[in-house]
Amino acid sequence: KAGVTQTPRYLIKTRGQQVTLSCSPISGHRSVSWYQQTPGQGLQFLFEYFSETQRNKGNFPGRFSGRQFSNSRSEMNVSTLELGDSALYLCASSFWQRGSDTQYFGPGTRLTVL
Amino acid sequence: GENVEQHPSTLSVQEGDSAVIKCTYSDSASNYFPWYKQELGKRPQLIIDIRSNVGEKKDQRIAVTLNKTAKHFSLHITETQPEDSAVYFCAAPPYGGGNKLTFGTGTQLKVEL
């Protein structure tokens, strides 16, 4: 099976712009979670989608949003970018619909905000 | 919410020695504890996980132990090799949190020749 894929791999934006990142889960996986990774804050959970519904949410401002499509692909959007949004954004997919399950990570999108 | 603490932040061992990384969690109802390895510039990869109904799990040179009473779990790597050098993260979800993982701050393991 193909692994989790993310596009684009690298992005450079300026403050105030918005950005959309895409994640394609492993075939058959219906849960997609998003994480932000920075040197200072480490790996932090953003949100999880299952069957096109947000199932869990982390402690990020409303500028961070996401959605999931019927084919389980997911996108996350960050509006009004700030310098502090520079990070590696990772998505992870898993199979089960309830409880906690093994999450497989994509390669990430490296976002740089200037 | 869940709070996960991980120690040490850096660990240097000689090739062939064992390495142990420890994590504590705050939510006594947490029931799933994965460990991820992240090499420089690469994605985190699951190396082993354990559920709260078992106390220990092994996979070749890697083992994880869980102490539910003390709310801590540990990663043990035996016969370390240079390719084990990476950052290791523990994680746990809060009760009912599903896939909402809280990660530890990571341990940079360096295996020296």
- Tell me, what's the pLDDT at B66? 95
Q: Which burial class, exposed, middle or buried, applies to A94 when counting CB atoms under 10 A from its CB (0-12, 13-18, 19+)?
A: buried
What is the pairing mode between strands A87-94 and A109-113?
A: antiparallel
Lowest mean pLDDT among A71-85, A90-104, B1-15, B66-80: A90-104
Residue of chain A with shortest Cα separation from B52: A100
pLDDT at A54 over 90: yes
pLDDT band at B96 (very low <50, low <70, confident <90, very high): confident
Q: Give residue A99's pLDDT.
A: 72
Q: Which of A59-68, B27-36, B99-108 has the lowest mean pLDDT?
A: B27-36
Contact predicate B4/B34, CB 8 Å:
no
pLDDT mean over A44-63:
94
**Can you say whether residue A57 is alpha, beta or left, with left for phi > 0 and alpha for psi between -120 and 50 degrees?**
beta
Residue B54: its pLDDT value, please? 83
Nearest to B99 among A33, A44, A106 (CB): A33
The most confident of the ranges A26-30, B30-34, B87-91 is B87-91
C-alpha to C-alpha distance for B10 and A34, rounded to whole angstroms: 26
pLDDT of residue A101: 84
Taking the CA of residue B102 and the nearest CA in chain A, the distance in Å comes to: 7
Mean pLDDT of A17-39: 96
- Amino acid identity at A52: E
- Please determine, for residue A50, whether its predicted confidence score (pLDDT) is greater than 70: yes
* A106, pLDDT greater than 70: yes
The confidence score (pLDDT) of residue A97 equals 63
Hey, of A56, A94, A100, which one would you mutate to test binding to chain B, going by the most B CBs within 10 A of its CB?
A: A100
Do residues A63 and A80 make contact, with C-beta atoms less than 8 angstroms apart? yes
Q: Which residue has the higher pLDDT, A77 or A102?
A: A77
CA dihedral over A25, A26, A28, A30, signed as positive or negative: negative
Q: Are strands A19-24 and B62-67 parallel, antiparallel or unpaired?
A: unpaired
Cβ neighbours for B107, distance < 8 A, ≥ 6 positions apart? B6, B7, B8, B9, B10, B11, B21, B87, B88, B89
Mean pLDDT across the stretch A52-69? Answer: 95
Other Cβ atoms closer than 10 A to B45: 13
Contact flag A56-B105 (C-beta cutoff 8 Å): no
Of A58, A102, A106, the CB nearest to B43: A106
Backbone angles phi, psi at A85, to 5 degrees: -85, -5
What is the distance between the alpha carbons of residues A38 and A73, in angstroms, rounded to a whole number? 24
